[in-house]
Amino acid sequence: MSRFKLVIALLTSSIIQISAHAESCQQADVQEIIVEINTSKIIRADAPKELFGFNIPWESFQLGYLREGTVRQELIELLAPFKGASYRYPGGSPSNWFEWQKAIGPAAQRVAMHYEYDRYAIAEFGLVEFANFVSAVKGRAVLTLNLVGPYKKMPLSASELSANILEMLNYVRHSTSFGCVGGPNCGVMAWELGNELDQTPYNWPASIYIKRAEAVISAISAAMPEVEWIANGFSAPWGTHKSNYQVFNEALAAGLADTVQAIAIHPYYDGISIPTAAQYVTEFGKNWVNARVGGKVFVTEHARWPTVPAKGRWESNWHQANDVGGAISTADFLLVMFGNQQVASANWHALGVTGPWQLVRWNRAKDLFYASPVYWGLRAIREAYLDHLVLTRYSQPPGVSYSGGYDVRLVGMASDDGQSASVLGINRHAKPLTLRVLWSGGSRKTGVGTLRAVSGASPSDDNTDLDPQKVTMKTSFQHLQSARSASVWCVPALAVFSITEP
């Protein structure tokens, strides 16, 4: 008898399974996956909580989530489980025209400014309100700077730009609840130097971007050396005619890595597979770490991209960003990022109530919020996100369906005190799986194990105004004996899941 089978045979009788999914694994054709987790072999220590971050397009956020200058308590409560997450403001493309002076002072006295797509709005959710929100959810901020100037006006000169941004940082430090602009104990994690400025309508080459970024850094770093900077890497390198992205990123690293700690990337998937997206993240990171010891990557936007149909409206596929398939792909991508030592933060796009990507949806008719399947998928893995990533080995089920070459991804974690261990994973398989966990590296204790799972009958299952609770996080339990070296769990089909054991 093999070691795996011997261990399971000895211990299965001591496991009392009360999982709500257990019956589905009694079918004859259910596959078994064996995963070995060694809690004494740390792969990544002190895994950053900032990886569970969100991008905030300011107008789309305030439209549904703000009332009388304050973020609604319902949203605060939904985000409370993501303590330590990073929040990127004022968003992606909206940051390229963001006039911070129009986002301060009494809200009644603020004037409208350009948001995006020739739309204008008054920034009720300004710098002070954003800082208060980050404090309320116990998060950290990534602020994206306007390196251009006001919309449809002549770009600010380098000296005007640097003076303007220096004034903004002074305002954040002295006039918001952050009270700081950087450092490990500051609510401001980093400052991103613009957003996708190599794209239309700017099309800046690396030389122009470097010159303007250098002007900002030189004006600020002497007075505020604690500021951590992020340079924007080449946008969408997987697109057509993007073969020069390495040249662009290498130029950025050569020109900026002495003073800029990190490079940003915005991967969208599954038009490209998760492994392909992850490889781009790795390549961006290599450019920076080759030029700077300890160089980091900030994934300041990521999400599943809905399929653009050859005919018809793109909106008909917007559900793909947020549905069960979107939840699985989002969790899959993050599980890879957990193991990438260079990735310091990641921001899912987006925390707002318009467009394809909506983490928390707003029923306008009833003025109520409800969470998307992506939210519940992130919640399932965040609940079991412990201190350290540990050595994990596992097999794949036969008949892999996903274009990335797998159907299952698993990550093992352990708490610093050794009292808890966990498995975080996704199952793209259309059938449930029996997961046999073989533990080593320390004795497991007696107690209750917890399985959290978010799944659906189809990848397109989604929550809507008519059925806001169709997909939620289901929780089930097992009583586990002490000194065990194995446990057995039933993982549902098409699922994001996590298992926590004492």
Digits of tens for pLDDT over the chain (502 positions)?
443 333 333 233 333 334 445 668 988 789 999 999 999 999 999 999 999 999 999 999 999 999 999 999 999 999 999 999 999 999 999 999 999 999 999 999 999 999 999 999 999 999 999 999 999 999 999 999 999 999 999 999 999 999 999 999 999 999 999 999 999 999 999 999 999 999 999 999 999 999 999 999 999 999 999 999 999 999 999 986 667 899 999 999 999 999 999 999 999 999 999 999 999 999 999 999 999 999 999 999 999 999 999 999 999 999 999 999 999 999 999 999 999 999 999 999 999 999 999 999 999 999 999 999 999 999 999 999 999 999 999 999 988 999 999 999 999 999 999 999 999 999 999 999 999 999 999 999 999 999 999 999 999 999 999 999 999 999 999 999 999 999 999 999 999 999 999 9
Specify the long-range contacts of residues 359-363, CB closer than 8 Å, at least 24 apart: 359/54, 359/322, 360/65, 360/75, 360/78, 361/322, 361/463, 361/464, 361/465, 361/468, 362/63, 362/64, 362/65, 363/465, 363/468
**Of 347, 351, 367, nearest in space to 359 by CA:** 351
**Of 32, 7, 36, nearest in space to 391 by CA:** 36
In the chain, CATH 2.60.40.1180 covers 3-46+387-501
Q: What is the pLDDT of residue 3?
A: 38
Contacts of 433 (CB under 8 A, 6+ apart): 25, 30, 31, 32, 33, 397, 408, 427, 490, 491, 493
Q: What is the pLDDT of residue 29?
A: 86
For residue 462, what are its two tokens?
């989604």
For residue 226, what are its two tokens?
């604690």
Q: What is the pLDDT of residue 216?
A: 98
Q: What is the pLDDT of residue 186?
A: 98
Bridge-based pairing of strands 447-455 and 495-501 is: antiparallel
Contacts of 458 (CB under 8 A, 6+ apart): 324, 494
**Of 297, 284, 273, 291, nearest in space to 347 by CA:** 297
d(C-alpha 341, C-alpha 357), whole Å: 27
Bridge-based pairing of strands 53-55 and 86-89 is: parallel
DSSP 427-469: E-SSS-EEEEEEEESSPPPSEEEEEEEEE-SSTT----SS-TT
Q: What is the pLDDT of residue 18?
A: 42
Q: What is the pLDDT of residue 411?
A: 98
Q: Is the Cβ–Cβ distance between 52 and 378 less than 8 Å?
A: yes
d(C-alpha 6, C-alpha 61), whole Å: 55
Q: What is the pLDDT of residue 115?
A: 97
d(C-alpha 209, C-alpha 204), whole Å: 6
Burial (CB count within 10 angstroms: exposed 0-12, middle 13-18, buried 19+), residue 93: middle
Reply yes or no on domain 49-96+124-382 having CATH 3.20.20.80.
Answer: yes
CATH classification code of 3-46+387-501: 2.60.40.1180
- 347-364 burial, b for 16+ CB within 10 Å, e for fewer? bbbbbbbeebbbbbbbee
- Whether the CA torsion 40, 486, 334, 134 is positive or negative: it is negative
Contacts of 134 (CB under 8 A, 6+ apart): 87, 140, 141, 178, 187
One-letter-per-residue 3-state SS of 102-138: HHCCCHHHCCEEECCCCCEEECCCCHHHHHHHHHHCC
- Whether the CA torsion 88, 92, 94, 100 is positive or negative: it is positive
Describe the chain by its helix, strand, coil percentages, rounded to 5: 30, 25, 40
- 203-234 burial, b for 16+ CB within 10 Å, e for fewer? ebebeebbebbbbbbebbeeebeebbbbbbbb
d(C-alpha 91, C-alpha 55), whole Å: 6
Burial (CB count within 10 angstroms: exposed 0-12, middle 13-18, buried 19+), residue 304: buried
